[in-house]
């Protein structure tokens, strides 16, 4: 009986160690916690995807990626439900092709960096344009290509034509290639392609956005720590005052007014902060108003009144004096012209 108990305990201990080892393996070799993983290759298991707790999605292996369609229930990317948790996408060396709509979501995404390998030969679909359509407004998206600029000229784009086929049971989409065209570097204000694996430091800048009809938009990039809020400051007489704050990743665009009621210069600045309120990047100050002293404002007011009265006399003289006095009224009009009064 004692010998049986020892054998039972030995077997039980082996089972416990086995499960412990498996759970430790799920935590990854570098100690990072794995959220989920699976295969995403065109041949099935030739490529593997791994999503880590810190927000990095890694595609590894050899060969081409499978194609996806985010608006189809049967062909969504396997990481589709994790898009809001992804912050950085790394496509490792060995991957030769990126699948259609692989990194495109049907809602806003917050990832700020996509690392592309030197082994990349093609991408399917309108890679950059499609990704830009689902981007959070204001956040800069960095494409870090490991190769040189001249190497990028050899990377092709396969334009895809997605067809919805309802006649075949269980089939949502079919795909056919309609042609290839050379990729060009994205030059939009919210994204840029970098070469030799380079990327910019964290930054925040205020830019005018005519498309949105806004005076300024906070354009920012934070590669290592996820941004949480954008704080807007009005600066007057050397004093900072928070006048608005925005949560990063929200659908709506918040508009606000920086009131200027006292004399002096008014500036605008934006800070990008993390969850704990630490400043990740700050924009430069932008002059938005220069309000004169009270005396100067009074002078300007009387000057405007004087100009208004002069304009009234000018118009009245043209409508009344010119028809009555004819040519005798012209010298008065010329004199008023010299003082800047014109109809």
The pLDDT of 272-280, averaged and rounded, is 93
Question: Residue ranges of the domains in the chain?
Answer: 20-194, 203-291, 294-338
Tens-place pLDDT, residues 11-29: 444 444 444 334 433 455 5
What integer pLDDT is reported at residue 206 of this predicted model? 92
SS3 string, the chain, reads CHHHHHHHHHHHHHHHHHHHHHHHHHCCCCCCCEEEEEEEECCEEEEEEEEECCCEEEEEECEEECCCCCCCCCCCCCCHHHHHHCCEEEECCCEEEECCCCCCCCCCECCCEEEECCCCCEEECCHHHHHHHCECCCECEEEEECCCHHHHCCCEEEEEEEEECCCCCCCCEEEEEEEEEECCCCCCCCEEEECCCCCCCCEEEEEEECCCCEEEEEEEECCCCCCCEEEEEEEECCEEEEEEEEECCCCCCCCCCCCCCCCEEEEEEEEEECCCCCEEEECCCEEEEEECCHHHHHHHHHHHHHHHHHHHHHHHHHHHHHHHHHHHHHHHHHHHHHCCCCC
Tens-place pLDDT, residues 123-149: 887 677 778 777 787 888 999 999 998
What integer pLDDT is reported at residue 277 of this predicted model? 92
pLDDT of residue 159 exceeding 80, the answer is no
pLDDT of residue 3 exceeding 50, the answer is no
- pLDDT grade for 261, boundaries at 50, 70 and 90: confident
* Mean pLDDT comparison of 138-142, 202-206, 246-250, highest-scoring range: 202-206
- Give the domain 203-291 fold: Immunoglobulin-like (2.60.40)
């Amino acid at each position: 009986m004692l010998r049986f108990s020892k054998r039972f305990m030995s077997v039980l201990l082996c089972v416990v160690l086995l499960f412990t080892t498996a759970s430790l393996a799920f935590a990854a070799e570098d100690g990072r916690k794995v959220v989920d993983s699976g295969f995403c290759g065109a041949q099935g298991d030739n490529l593997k995807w791994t999503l880590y707790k810190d927000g990095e999605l890694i595609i590894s292996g050899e060969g081409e990626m499978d194609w996806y369609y985010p608006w189809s229930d049967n062909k969504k990317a396997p990481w589709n439900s994790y898009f809001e948790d992804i912050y950085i996408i790394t496509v490792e060396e060995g991957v030769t092709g990126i699948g259609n709509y692989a990194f495109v979501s049907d809602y806003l995404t917050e990832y700020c960096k996509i690392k592309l390998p030197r082994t990349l030969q093609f991408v399917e679909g309108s890679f950059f344009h499609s990704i830009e359509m689902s981007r959070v407004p204001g956040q800069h998206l960095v494409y870090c290509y490991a190769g040189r600029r001249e190497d990028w000229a050899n990377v092709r784009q396969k334009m895809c034509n997605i067809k919805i086929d309802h006649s075949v049971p269980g089939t949502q989409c079919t795909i056919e290639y309609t042609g290839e065209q050379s990729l060009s570097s994205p030059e939009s204000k919210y994204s840029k392609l970098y070469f030799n694996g380079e990327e910019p430091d964290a930054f925040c800048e205020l830019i005018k956005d005519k498309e949105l009809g806004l005076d300024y938009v906070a354009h920012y990039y934070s590669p290592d720590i996820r941004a949480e809020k954008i704080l807007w400051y009005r600066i007057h007489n050397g004093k900072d005052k928070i006048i608005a704050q925005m949560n990063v990743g929200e659908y709506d665009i918040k508009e606000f007014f920086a009131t200027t009621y006292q004399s002096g210069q008014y500036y605008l600045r934006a800070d990008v902060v993390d969850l704990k309120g630490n400043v990740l990047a700050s924009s430069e100050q932008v002059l938005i108003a220069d309000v004169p002293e009270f005396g100067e404002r009074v002078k300007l007011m009387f000057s405007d009144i004087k100009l208004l009265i002069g304009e009234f006399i000018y118009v009245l003289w043209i409508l009344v004096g010119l028809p009555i006095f004819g040519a005798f009224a012209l010298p008065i009009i010329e004199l008023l012209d010299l003082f800047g009064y014109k109809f």
